Amino acid sequence: MNASALVCFNRECRERFSITQVLYNCPKCGGLLEADVARGASNAAALKKLWRERRMCNTTLDQSGVWRYRELLPFEDHADLAVSLREGNTPLLESRFAAQYGGLDRLMFKHQGFNPTGSFKDNGMTCGVTQAIRLGMKRVACVSTGNTSASMAAYASAAGLHPIVFIPRGNISYGKLAQALEYGARTLQVEANFDRILALVRELANRLGIYLLNSINPFRIEGQKTIVFEMLDQRDWRVPDWIVLPGGNLGNTSAFGKALRELREFAFIEKMPRLAVIQAEGAAPFYDYMQSSDAGREFHSIGNPETLATAIRIGDPVSWPKALLEVSESNGVVEKVSEQEIADAKAQIGKCGIGCEPASAATLAGIRKLTAKGTISSDADVVAVLTGNVLKDPDYIYRYHTGQLKAPNGELLRSTFGNQPEVVPNDAEAIAKLLAS
């Protein structure tokens, strides 16, 4: 068995590095890095059985919906270092109403908002912070639209490391900012957008010897692969036709594609589901790129991305080369949706009793659009990934339901499925009359 290694993602380079080198890009060609995972002797059938048995086991590693799948993670001799908050273990929820809204017969949500800090970032962060421990790092940092910072703050503090969080001032929800503060992160609000702050933090990380935990970090991507492992495990390895997810910095798209390629390569599955990546209209550089069919097309970032789904308000997604490979490999598609479409889809998910944060709702909005176009057929087997918890952004919810939600261009959004709170007098008679109608 070869040991796990870091490998340059650039297909022309493929230079290999030790798994314990502190690297975010290939020193030879500047390309993105990925982990090449060492494989044990177990075959797919044996691992499927082992992973199922581990669900019944009470050890921390087996209770984690990430570390349960450790045979496909690059920590072969170091899983005992794992920093776990019992991440993963998120449900697959079926909703007839949401399916109907999306133009489907059936729809399942894989709800990552059930994670310890309320988003899918925990799946990746448990691995990222464990790698920081393996490397002996003391301080960790990230720039974030909110969820990464909440997650990093929690895991770093749980591990006794010092988290430093950089966020775009005024452009993240209070729920997420509050988490970073509560979990003890040193929190720096910078007067710039996500993309500009990422460049700044990369420079500072190198200069100050701080470990960077953005999704450019390949160990984050490794952890996020387990969202797909767990999803398929929960479906007894029946592969859906489509997996639909929101796209921002495109780390999750990269992770899902890598997970699926590995599962196919190691004979866990025979066919690949198609990936559908949904972006917000005002922050859709990957969509724009995929629309162009020119051979020599270039990736154009967006200088001032805008969307109320602040989690995906990203104009220069670092992982786009990986996402490009994964969407192509899966014969996938990229779609974009408007602010109104996101807001209405979100209210529909809420009305199913499920709920999610705005970026997550881009999935249902995208499904509705893709079924209307005929790209996804109504009888397709679809899993949509809800990336964050409904309580991440309560301000958005209140404004939508009370008809006060304004798009970034100042336009008032329709409160199509609004549910206004009503003010009533302290009078049983009057309230009974109101409820009788």
- Residues that bind ligand F0G in the complex, under the rule CB under 6 A: 119, 121, 144-148, 215, 246-253, 311-312, 357, 359-360, 387-388
Which residue's CB is nearer to ligand F0G, number 71 or number 357?
357
Q: How many helices (H) and strands (E) does the chain have?
A: 15, 13
Two tokens at 239? 């592969």
Q: Where do runs of H (alpha helix) occur along 281-381?
A: 285-291, 320-329, 339-351, 358-373
- For 35, phi then psi, to 5°, come to -90, 135
Please state the closest distance from residue 234 (CB atom) to ligand F0G, in A: 20
Distance between start and end Cα atoms, the chain: 71
CB of 337 to ligand F0G, least distance (A): 13
Q: Which is nearer to ligand F0G, 146 or 223 (CB)?
A: 146
Nearest to residue 155, comparing CAs of 178, 184, 135? 184
CA separation for the pair 334, 435 (Å, rounded): 46
CB of 435 to ligand F0G, least distance (A): 37
Least distance from ligand F0G to the Cβ atom of residue 312, Å: 5
Question: Distance between CA atoms of 102 and 384, rounded to whole angstroms?
Answer: 11
Kindly give, in sequence order, each residue whose CB lies less than 8 Å from that of residue 291, ignoring residues fewer than 6 positions away. none
Please identify, using beta-carbon distances, which residue of 251 and 257 lies nearer to ligand F0G: 251
For 93, the 3-state DSSP assignment is: strand
CB of 429 to ligand F0G, least distance (A): 46
The nearer residue to ligand F0G, 38 or 165, going by C-beta atoms, is 165
Cα-based distances in Å from 251 to 60, 189, 228, 245, 344: 26, 23, 14, 11, 26
SS3 track for 356-391: CCHHHHHHHHHHHHHHHHCCCCCCCCEEEEECECHH
Contact between residue 40 and residue 71 where contact means Cβ atoms under 8 Å apart: yes
Q: What are phi and psi of 118, to 5 degrees?
A: 85, 15
Quick one: 146 or 175, whose CB is closer to ligand F0G?
A: 146
CB-wise, 51 or 229, nearer to ligand F0G?
A: 229
Least spacing, CB of residue 61 vs ligand F0G, in Å: 25
In what helix (H) or strand (E) does residue 186 lie, and over which residues does it extend?
Answer: strand 186-190
Give yes or no for a contact between 392 and 361, defined as CB atoms under 8 angstroms apart: no
Give me the DSSP letters along 215-269: TTSHHHHHHHHHHHHHHHHHTTTPPPSEEEEE-SSSHHHHHHHHHHHHHHHTTS-
- Is the CB of residue 10 less than 8 Å from the CB of residue 43? no
CB of 207 to ligand F0G, least distance (A): 22
Q: Cβ closer to ligand F0G: 31 or 388?
A: 388
The CB-of-144 to ligand F0G minimum distance in angstroms stands at 3
CB nearer to ligand F0G: give 232 or 327. Answer: 327
Our CB check for ligand F0G shows the closer of 239 and 245 to be 245
CB of 386: closest distance to ligand F0G in angstroms?
8
CB of 319 to ligand F0G, least distance (A): 7
Query: Of 18 and 304, which has the nearer Cβ to ligand F0G?
Result: 304
3-class SS shares of the chain: helix, strand, coil, % to 5: 45, 15, 40
